[in-house]
């Protein structure tokens, strides 16, 4: 873990410069004042250190300002529902897209009940009420089952919205569950290529592509015609990829799922030419903290919302 953190710090220093790295470090100090600062003051200061500009949260113009405004003043009524990795499946199915749902082997609020003996050699265990609570099992025979049970119990106790210190309170109303899903094998990367569609009023306008998220994360961003925009968003830019063969169908799916939102991000996988799978829907991309380079894109996307 430590070598990865050092490597990441060096990458940020080279690409964003010492001022951004210092601001990111200072934002961790600001987190100490989360319990005492007024929400707007805390959020604005935190965003300033991460974004490099002082945000107008009450009268927002940029995408990140509008995400912050949504968090503090106008949560979308469907935010908790679609953030719930279990309940969102019904939302997807009700829109005629049950065929893109990944197979779920087991759901429980008691990790002791996970039927390890009946599971395949590879699978994924995740919590439904937040991010970064995933365990990718590639060889069941080497799995320490008691360690997994302890990890799942810790996840179930975890209040993700409170832990982020970023006013993502829509997570805290989600009843915590543990999901065991089919392992998505793309063959090339540890995790499948992640296609994230930025949708405004039911129209997909940008496509973020994330590769090797837990190994050597790179990211590229395209328009809906698959032209490279040149945007860099937090992670190093990846090489330009060939146009996915079923891009038009993925865009149609993203737009169908985003029809109830003024802005949301719809994530899909395409692990094989004949397969499209649902990932997630988020109404608060990056918590309003992801810095667009060049910065003008933050405003351009805000104008679409």
Q: What is the mean pLDDT of residues 116-143?
A: 95
pLDDT higher at 246 or 10: 246
Find all residues with CB under 8 Å of 168, minimum gap 6, and list them: 71, 160, 161, 284, 287
**According to the model, what pLDDT value does residue 24 have?**
72
Tokens of 200: 């405004």
**According to the model, what pLDDT value does residue 241 have?**
87
145, 203, 184, 205: which is closest to 271 by C-alpha?
Answer: 184
Nearest-10 crossing angle of helices 39-51, 2-30: 140
Assign 243 a pLDDT band (cuts: 50, 70, 90).
very high
**Does the pLDDT of residue 47 top 80, yes or no?**
yes
Question: Domain 187-304, what fold?
Answer: D-amino Acid Aminotransferase; Chain A, domain 1 (3.30.470)
Cβ neighbours of 6 (radius 10 Å) = 10
pLDDT higher at 191 or 187: 191
**According to the model, what pLDDT value does residue 144 have?**
96
pLDDT higher at 51 or 298: 298
Phi and psi at residue 32, to the nearest 5°:
-65, -25
**Does the pLDDT of residue 215 top 80, yes or no?**
no
**Does the pLDDT of residue 138 top 90, yes or no?**
yes
pLDDT tens profile 164-184: 888 998 998 899 999 999 999
Q: How far apart are CA 295 and CA 281, in angstroms?
A: 24
Q: Where do the domains of the chain lie?
A: 2-72, 103-182, 187-304
Assign 218 a pLDDT band (cuts: 50, 70, 90).
confident
pLDDT tens profile 269-302: 998 888 999 999 999 999 999 999 999 999 999 9
**Does the pLDDT of residue 18 top 70, yes or no?**
no
Rounded to the nearest integer, the mean pLDDT of the chain is 90
Matching residue, tokens 């910065």: 295
**Does the pLDDT of residue 69 top 80, yes or no?**
yes
pTM: 0.90
Question: What is the edge-to-edge ordering of all strands in the sheet holding 134-137?
Answer: 104-108, 178-182, 123-127, 134-137
């Amino acid at each position: 873990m430590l070598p990865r953190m050092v490597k990441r710090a060096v990458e940020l220093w080279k690409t964003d410069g010492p001022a951004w790295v210092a601001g990111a470090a200072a934002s961790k100090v600001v987190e100490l004042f989360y319990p005492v600062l007024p929400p707007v003051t805390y959020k604005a200061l935190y965003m300033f250190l991460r974004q490099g500009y002082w945000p107008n949260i009450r009268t927002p113009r940029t995408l990140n300002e509008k995400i912050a405004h949504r968090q503090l003043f106008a949560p979308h009524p469907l935010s908790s529902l679609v953030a719930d990795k279990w309940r969102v499946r019904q939302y997807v199915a009700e829109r005629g897209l049950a065929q893109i749902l990944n197979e779920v082997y087991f759901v429980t609020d008691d990790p002791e009940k996970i039927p390890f003996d009946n599971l395949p050699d590879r699978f994924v265990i995740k919590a439904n009420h937040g991010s970064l609570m995933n365990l990718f099992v590639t060889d069941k025979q080497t799995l320490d089952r008691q360690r997994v049970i302890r990890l799942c119990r810790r996840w179930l106790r975890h209040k993700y919205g409170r832990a982020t210190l970023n006013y993502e309170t829509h997570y805290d109303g989600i009843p915590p569950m543990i999901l065991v899903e089919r392992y998505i094998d793309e063959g090339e990367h540890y995790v499948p290529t992640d296609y994230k569609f930025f949708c405004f009023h039911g129209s997909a306008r940008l496509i973020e592509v994330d590769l090797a998220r837990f190994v050597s994360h790179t990211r590229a961003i395209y328009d809906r015609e698959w032209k490279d925009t040149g945007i860099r968003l937090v992670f190093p830019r990846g090489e330009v990829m060939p146009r996915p063969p079923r891009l038009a169908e993925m865009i149609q799916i993203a737009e169908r799922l985003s029809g109830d939102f003024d802005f949301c991000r719809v994530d899909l996988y395409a692990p094989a030419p004949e397969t499209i799978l649902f990932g997630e829907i988020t109404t608060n991309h990056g918590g309003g903290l992801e810095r667009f380079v060049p910065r003008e894109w933050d405003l351009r996307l805000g104008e679409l919302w």
